[in-house]
Chain A
Amino acid sequence: MKTLITLRVNGKEHEVNVDPQTPLLYVLRNNLGLNGPKFGCGLSQCGACMVLFDGKANPSCLMAVERAAEMEITTLEGLVDENGNLHKVQQAFIDEQAAQCGYCLNGLVIASVGLLNENPNPSNEDIQAGLYRNICRCGVHARVIRAVKKASSV
């Protein structure tokens, strides 16, 4: 049954009329038109769909939208400031060429921001451990680690 749910996404409130069991990812993409979070498996196995929940990174493809109603959600789009300036993690990913095909990148950027929220000065091992939920098939891992290191020093 469709229900009105209020979501707080990227600093703005949105009212959506959806089945409360709809995965949050579908609502973000289809109802709010956000293209950042990606569908990679639908099973919380690959991390492509990650968003920040109150600053913590988690997959959104299996989470029922009703559970997200109480939280502050940030997507890739929300990391860019109102003047179009990129978040330091986004900029570091560009500078360190931590992008190839770019499909997993949403998850990697979001997870890196989440990691830095908790640990502003992570070691390489912390980064490797912190990104344990993200699969990248192009093999950019080493450059991602460098990018997160770089962002942490900005």
Chain B
Amino acid sequence: MATNFIGTPENRVDGRDKVTGNAKYTAEFHKEGLLHGVVVSSAIAKGRIKNIDTAAALQLNGVVEVFTHENTPSLAWLDLSYKDMDSPPGDPFRPLHSDKIQFNMQPVALVVAETLELAKYASTLIEVEYEVEKHRTSLADNLDDSIKGKGIRAGFTPPKSIGNFKEAYESAGVKLEVEYFHGAEHHNPMEMHASIVFYEEDGNLTIYDKTQGVLNSRHYVSMVFGVSKKKIRVLSPFVGGAFGSALRPQYQLFMATLAALQLKRSVKVELTRPQMFSFGHRPITIQKLKFGASPEGKIEAISHQAYSETSTFEKYLENIVNWAGKLYDCENVEQIYELVRLDVYTPLDMRAPGGATGIYALESAIDELSYKLNIDPLELRLKNYTEEDKGESKPFSSRTLRECFKQGAERFGWKNRNPEPRSMQEGHQLTGWGMSAGVWDAMQMPARAKAEFKADGTLTVGSATADIGTGTYTIMTQIAAETLGLPLEKVSAKLGDSKLPFAFIEGGSSTAASVGSAVEKVCKKIAKKLLKEAGKMEDSPFKGAGLEDVIFADEKISDKNDPSVNVHFSEIMRARDLQEIKKKYFLLPNMLKQNKYSRATHSAVFAEVKVDEDLGTIKVTRIVSAIDGGRILNPKTAHSQILGGVVWGISMALHEDTFMDHNFGRFITHDLASYHVSVNADMPDIDILFVEEPDTVVSSLGAKGVGEIGLLGVAAAINNAVYHATGKRIRSLPIRLDNAMKERTIKN
């Protein structure tokens, strides 16, 4: 059929707009008279503003206003009003609320002027006097002052322990106890965070916001500023990357809205690249792992304990230690999660939050165990392969991890590996091969979608979700076109508009399973209506037919058994005198069914590295990633998601680190020259394969979501490869040159 699109490698529908500059991102919208706001950031990590002098700035012709805690009107006073869909437990940060400084680079003023240049210049004239208090920003120095990682948060599962770890560990023949560490990371999407609030003549607000959820932004503005939702429209048609940074409304949205409402004018606030390091990061963790195993390699006891940072005002929770029971057939698993309150901004979900760092430590430690047991790391994983989620005591809704191991190993040539470290050496170059498993939750969220089919044969589908580069526009178009049997050109997908039907924030790899399914269902409703109308046509062969009796393809309804009996959609619309058919659908996940299963995506990652032992340079030369992501809706966009995840894994393993200067309690990595990410020159050969098994528990489409699973396990596979190359076990990220260098004694 010419209108089968699900599972085919279609080009992205927004491709042309993106290569020609037609796609407009948040800060790119403009209207005459737009004011520019520049944020002034605090220079201290903790204390109080004693005095803030704005006089010099206000004297400049063209500076309209300077907002500080002193002249910000009283807003919603309940903490609850500041909560958003992605809030962790606690009291959300309130910009310009009081003289209290809670973290370094906290916004302390907004300078609003007629031009950006003037606002920037004026912002340098703001004089702030602080009363400095002693801050604490070091996780390592404050482990004895931790609190339990407990609480309720979307996507967070409190880690459980099963069996009796202590007893099993004590009696185990082989024991391993190790500690892992990694630094802080910042999302750094290429597009900076920005919000424009257009103050309309009737007092309504049209807001362009960089967000992964327009409804989340609308909710926040409505609650904080007491403006009716009906008077607010939030738009975000294109998002220049986010990776979690736009899951929560960030402070530039607050700032722009405050200024627009106070001045009754339109205001744009865009953060600077340094300010992209001022809100939310992947939290630093210190992880302690213990394994007990039999000498034959049966894992009998696992303990995974993580200490992670949070702010003084919110309790940031993520799934760091929830994975061992999903990967290993072990009856005694202890999982402990502790938080340490520091004078930093609340950490923020960053691509595969918790999993990326938890799996790094777990899967690196498993590699250590394999060497202690003298068993091949792949064999050890297969020996302890679990057919059910041990932590949850539930079967998996679908799982092809064993096949991922097999196919990945074959593609990589794992069987040719000599397990001996330093065994593949050519001159200065040491080659190492390492591997890892990965796992991530597969989620479906409630989602609404609407569809409008017109007499001219075009269909519009819409949902208030986001496309952060993932390909949401494209898969919505494909699903709708195939379900109704239309060519792709006749379908247009709408998203990123708060006027559209409800969708949850675009996170947790849940959008394909959620919004995708809602689109499928709403198109089925249109199909049903078309069929019913076809049945009412004169001498119709479709009288009384059900959807199961017919096929929707090539813009026609055809008899399943005799495709020569068919009717074109345009004939139906004409004969029945219909201008349009409109339908809505509300997808509510079947929790009763879903809760019977553990739902997850999986990966098997194989990495090759080359290390120059004299210079310490580490180059990843080859990655094979085998993915269990359920049914793949578009091999092109899905491949790109995994590719991006792998690149993030390389970046995490070797480059990314936001450096905190504890003397000042301030991240001093402030730009893209000092915050290293993987670049073109770092790219290895990346081979991605999908081991598909449609998962109809997670979604009727069979999709499980692939936005994050590509990252899981990559850093561990690289770390394990570096060990295999050098014989040195490195237990902190990023892996630095000096860690990998030959130890030498310098002689005089």
* Chain B residue at minimum C-beta to C-beta distance from A92: B19
Binds B, one of A1-9, A52-60, A62-70, A132-140: A132-140
Residue of A nearest to B470 (CB): A100
Which of B219-227, B236-244, B486-494 forms contacts with chain A? B236-244
Contact call A135/B677, Cβ cutoff below 8 A: yes
Closest to A111 in B: B680
Judged by a CB distance under 8 angstroms, whether A76 is at the interface is: yes
* Shortest Cβ gap from B12 to chain A (Å): 6
The size of the chain A interface, using a CB distance under 8 A, is: 50
Query: Does residue A17 face the partner (Cβ distance < 8 Å to B)?
Result: no
Min Cβ gap A137→B in Å is 5
Beta-carbon contact of A101 and B469 below 8 Å: yes
Please encode chain A, from 38 to 53, with 1 for each CB lying within 8 Å of some chain B CB and 0 for all others: 1111110110100000
Judge whether B24 and A35 touch: CB under 8 Å.
yes
- Nearest-neighbor residue (CB-CB) of B469 within chain A: A101
A102 B18 Cβ-Cβ under 8 A: yes
Q: Are A101 and B240 in contact (CB under 8 A)?
A: yes
A43 touches B21 (CB 8 A): no
Identify B640's interface contact among A77, A79, A109, A143, CB under 8 A: A143
A119 CA / B172 CA spacing, docked (Å): 63
Q: How far is it, in angstroms, between the C-alpha of A3 and the C-alpha of B288 when the chains are bound?
A: 64
**Which residues of A (54-102) have their CB < 8 Å from a CB of B?**
75-77, 79-80, 86, 90, 93-95, 97, 99-102
The verdict on B436 contacting chain A, using a C-beta distance below 8 Å, is no
**Contacts A103-B240, A109-B19 known; 15 new A-B pairs at CB < 8 A:** A35-B22, A35-B28, A36-B21, A38-B240, A41-B672, A43-B672, A45-B673, A48-B190, A94-B19, A101-B242, A102-B14, A102-B23, A102-B238, A137-B188, A137-B677
Which residues of B lie under 8 Å from residue A100 when comparing CB positions? 241, 469-471, 640, 644
Scoring B residues 616 to 659 as 1 if CB is less than 8 Å from chain A, else 0, what string do you get?
Answer: 00000000000000000000110110011111100000000000
Residues of chain B within 8 A (CB-CB) of A95 are 11
Per-residue CB proximity of B265-307 to A under 8 Å, as 1/0?
0000000110000000000000000000000000000000000
Q: Which of A76, A93, A137 has the most CB of B within 10 A?
A: A137
Residues of B near A135 (CB, < 8 A) are: 190, 672, 677, 679
Distance (whole angstroms) from the CB of B239 to the closest CB of chain A: 6
What residues of chain A lie closer than 8 Å to B243, measured between beta carbons? 137
A34 at the interface (CB under 8 A from B): yes
Residues of the A chain whose Cβ atoms lie less than 8 Å from the Cβ of B239: 101
Q: Closest CB of chain A to B33's CB: distance in Å?
A: 14
Collect the chain A residues with CB atoms within 8 Å of residue B680's CB: 127-128, 131-132, 134, 136, 141, 144-145
A36–B680 CA distance with the chains assembled, in angstroms: 22
Contact mask A141-153 → B, CB, 8 Å, 1/0? 1111100000000
Q: Of the candidates A97, A139, A143, which one forms a contact with B645 in the assembled complex, judged by CB atoms under 8 Å apart?
A: A139
Query: CB of A24 within 8 A of chain B?
Result: no
What string of 1s and 0s marks CB contacts (under 8 Å) between B651-677 and chain A? Answer: 000000000000000000001110001
**B22 and A46 contact, CB distance less than 8 A:** no
A20 to B239, CA, bound (A): 32
The residues of B that contact A76 with a CB separation of less than 8 Å are 19-21
Kindly supply a per-residue 1/0 record for chain A positions 98-132, scoring 1 wherever the CB is within 8 Å of any chain B CB and 0 otherwise: 01111111100100000000000000000111011
Q: Give the residue among A40, A100, A136 with the most B Cβ atoms within 10 A.
A: A100
- Kindly list chain B residues whose C-beta atoms are within 8 Å of the C-beta of A109: 19
Identify B21's interface contact among A41, A45, A75, A94, CB under 8 A. Answer: A75
In contact, A35 and B21 (Cβ under 8 angstroms): yes
State A109–B470 Cα separation when bound (angstroms): 20
A139 with B23: CB separation less than 8 A: no
B671/A101 in contact, CB under 8 A: no
- 5 A-B pairs whose Cβ atoms sit less than 8 Å apart in the complex: A35-B21, A48-B190, A86-B16, A128-B680, A139-B647
Given A100-B644, A101-B190, the answer on whether A138 and B241 have CB atoms closer than 8 Å is: yes
Q: What residues of A have a CB within 8 angstroms of the CB of B273 in the complex?
A: 40-43
Which residues of A lie under 8 Å from residue B23 when comparing CB positions? Answer: 102
A46 CB to closest chain B CB, in angstroms?
Answer: 5
State whether B19 touches A139 (Cβ < 8 A): no
Residue among A43, A94, A136, A144 making CB contact with B671, cutoff 8 Å: A43
Give chain B residues whose Cβ lies under 8 Å from the Cβ of A90. 19-20
Point out the residues of chain B lying under 8 angstroms from A86, CB to CB.
Answer: 16, 19-20
Contact partners of A75 in chain B: CB under 8 A: 21
Whether A46 and B12, one on each chain, are in contact in the complex, defined by CB atoms closer than 8 angstroms, is no
- Decide if A94 touches B469 in the complex (CB within 8 Å): no
Q: Residue on B with the closest CB to A125?
A: B681
B633 vs chain A, min Cβ distance (A): 14
Closest to B681 in A: A128
Q: Are B644 and A94 in contact (CB under 8 A)?
A: no
Report B17 CB to chain A, min CB distance, Å: 8
Does A138 lie within 8 Å of B24, measured CB to CB? no
Q: Is B567 at the interface (CB under 8 A from chain A)?
A: no
Q: How far is the CA of A134 from the CA of B28 in the complex (A)?
A: 21
Cβ B20 vs Cβ A103 within 8 A? no
- A residues near B672, Cβ cutoff 8 Å: 40-41, 43, 45-46, 135
Cβ 8 A contact of B643, one of A45, A104, A134, A140: A140
* Whole-angstrom distance between the Cβ of A94 and the nearest chain B Cβ: 4
> How far is it, in angstroms, between the C-alpha of A34 and the C-alpha of B24 when the chains are bound?
11
Q: Which 9 A-B pairs give the minimum distances between C-beta atoms?
A: A101-B469, A139-B647, A103-B240, A36-B21, A102-B18, A139-B644, A100-B469, A94-B15, A103-B190
Across the interface, do A103 and B645 meet the contact criterion of CB distance under 8 Å? no
Please determine whether A97 and B636 come into contact, CB atoms closer than 8 angstroms. yes
Contacts of A105 in B (CB 8 A): 18-19
Q: Give the distance to chain B from A132, nearest Cβ to Cβ, in Å.
A: 6
Residue from the set B191, B238, B678 with the largest chain A CB neighbour count within 10 Å: B191
Least CB separation from A48: chain B residue: B190
By a CB distance below 8 angstroms, the chain A residues around B242 are 101
Q: Is B152 an interface residue (CB 8 A)?
A: no
**B621 CB → nearest A CB, Å:** 13
Instruction: Decide if B468 is an interface residue (CB 8 Å cutoff).
Output: yes
CA distance A152 to B268 in the complex (A): 41
How far is B415's CA from A48's CA once the two chains are assembled, in angstroms? Answer: 43
B168 to chain A, nearest CB (A): 41
B191 touches A94 (CB 8 A): no
What's the minimum C-beta distance from B175 to chain A, rounded to whole angstroms?
A: 39
Shortest distance from the beta carbon of A135 to any chain B beta carbon, whole Å: 6
Contact A139 B18 (CB under 8 A): no
| Min distance, Cβ A2 to any Cβ of chain B, angstroms | 12
- Among A39, A129, A142, the most chain B Cβ lie within 10 Å of the Cβ of A142
**Cα distance, A22 to B600, chains bound together (Å):** 52
- Please give the distance in Å from A11's CB to the nearest CB on chain B: 16
The docked-state distance in angstroms from the alpha carbon of A137 to that of B645 is 10
Which one of B19, B190, B636 contacts A40 once the chains associate, using CB atoms below 8 Å?
Answer: B190
Chain B positions within 8 Å of A137 at CB level: 188-190, 241, 243, 677
B683 within 8 A of A: yes
B299 CB, min distance to chain A CBs, angstroms: 33
Are A138 and B677 within 8 A (Cβ)?
no
| B671 CB contacts on chain A under 8 angstroms | 41, 43, 45
What residues of chain A lie closer than 8 Å to B469, measured between beta carbons?
A: 99-102, 138
Tell me whether B15 and A132 are in contact (CB under 8 A): no
Q: Check: B686 CB closer than 8 A to any chain A CB.
A: yes
Q: How far is the CA of A127 from the CA of B190 in the complex (A)?
A: 21
Closest B residue, CB atoms, query A130: B680
Shortest distance from the beta carbon of A51 to any chain B beta carbon, whole Å: 11
Residues of A within 8 A of B678 (CB): 139, 141
A151 to chain B, nearest CB (A): 12
